[in-house]
Amino acid sequence: MTFAVRNRVVAFTMALAAVTYLDRVCIAILAPNISTELGLSRVEMATIFSAFAVAYAAFGVPLARWADRDGARKVLACVVLVWSAFTMATAAAWNFASMAVIRFLFGVGEAGAWPSVARVYSRWIPLAQRGRIQGVFFAAAHLSGGLTPFVVIALAGWLQWRMIFIAFGLIGALWAIGWYVWFRDEPRDHAAVSQAERDHIEATRGLPATQVHASWTAVFKTPTVAPLCVQAFANSYGFYFFITWLPTYLAQAHGLKGMGWALMSGLPLMLSCLADLTGGEGSDRLARKMSLRNARRSFGTGGYILAATATFLATQVANGYLAGLLIAIGGACSMLTLAPAWASAVDVGGRHAGVTAGVMNTVGQVGGILSPIVLAYLVDATGDWNLPLIVLAGIYAVAAIAWLMINPEQRVEA
């Protein structure tokens, strides 16, 4: 049975996912132009990349608490307007300091996006479908990120890099207005939701019928949250390599350029679309045959083992396209874990789904903060572009072990 209104909610969040990655990824493609015009060193550019992740980590939990308290309708509209404004403000940067501050403030806005979407799904999506829906959500994000290099290269033919940021910022502002006008935090408050759809969602979403009294701080006492955070660190550490230094790695370590370079730069995120759908749908289907814990864990541990293996193999080949393909496969395998991880955070969190997802996402962003900077220092110190990939393979291996300790059947509110 298909319910149109919740499908439209998912479509709205997919559009949001696409906008988040459009705005995040474009700076990596434009980094050579920005560095040349502003006179930035490799470490300074890495610091700018990490400024976003610092803000993303610092403000994730506070904004998630706001969403859990006041609802995702208002919070998402506000944060998307904020980050869209600072996406456009990137066009006004004139030196290292101004660019770092603007990207930090851009990160403040984006910090509230995905935890708020977790809050939306906890109210609108039946528990048995959350893996699938999270997979669709992340697929939209990664497809957008994978196509962004082509969009940016096409626009760069007739727009300066500053104007590209302005154009992308306007897209997010339009989304925020449409979301606030149409969305409602509870299905029963949306005029288009039928009684049958409302009753079905409320009976299958896994929330207690009445408000419980567990404090949001109970999230930190729930054992499964810690390993969820460890695997999120690994996921973000790898992801930030893909959206920051991968284009430069392909150009400098392997001499790729032109459309081939653009293709390999976007390939990890494009392959991740298939991985997102597989991890989400696959873990939901597997949960019908075994425990939810074993179903999610199979994709989590298996995905990271494959990611570690492919990433390490990329350091052992000389051909740039083969190395890029192995990196893309490794990145996609790491994303097999994304939908199961976020679905687990929503399941575990219950009415504190936003904060639970926010805590996981915040710790994950520590990986995002470190990834660009660690690479810059390692390459500056050794001249070896493969060393950061060996480090990444090791981090993926640790995440595979962490998944063995994750139990999505635990509850913050138990």
pLDDT of 76-102, one tens digit each? 999 999 999 999 999 999 999 999 999
Q: Which two tokens stand for residue 385?
A: 């572009």
pTM: 0.74
Residue type, 270: M
Angstrom distances, CA of residue 135 to CA of 34, 46, 227, 255, 328:
33, 30, 20, 34, 18
Report the run of H or E that residue 369 belongs to, with start and end. Answer: helix 353-382
Alpha carbon distances (Å) from 282 to 158, 249, 293, 385, 403: 43, 33, 13, 35, 16
**What six digits make up the tokens of 136?**
């669709």
* Percent of the residues in the chain that have a pLDDT greater than 90, as a whole number: 39
pLDDT higher than threshold 80 for residue 402: yes
Query: Alpha helices, DSSP H only, in 244-291?
Result: 246-254, 258-287
Read off the DSSP letter of residue 157.
Answer: T
Per-residue model confidence as pLDDT tens digits over 265-299: 888 888 888 888 888 788 888 888 888 788 888 99
Coil, helix or strand for 317?
coil
Radius of gyration for the chain, computed over Cα atoms and rounded to the nearest angstrom: 20
* Rounded Cα gap, residues 282 and 132, in angstroms: 8
Note the pLDDT tens digit of each residue in 211-231.
554 556 777 777 888 899 999
CATH top-level class of 4-403: mainly alpha
**What span, in angstroms and rounded, lies between the C-alpha atoms of 255 and 157?**
22
Give me the residue spans of the domains in the chain.
4-403
Token pair belonging to 51: 């400024």
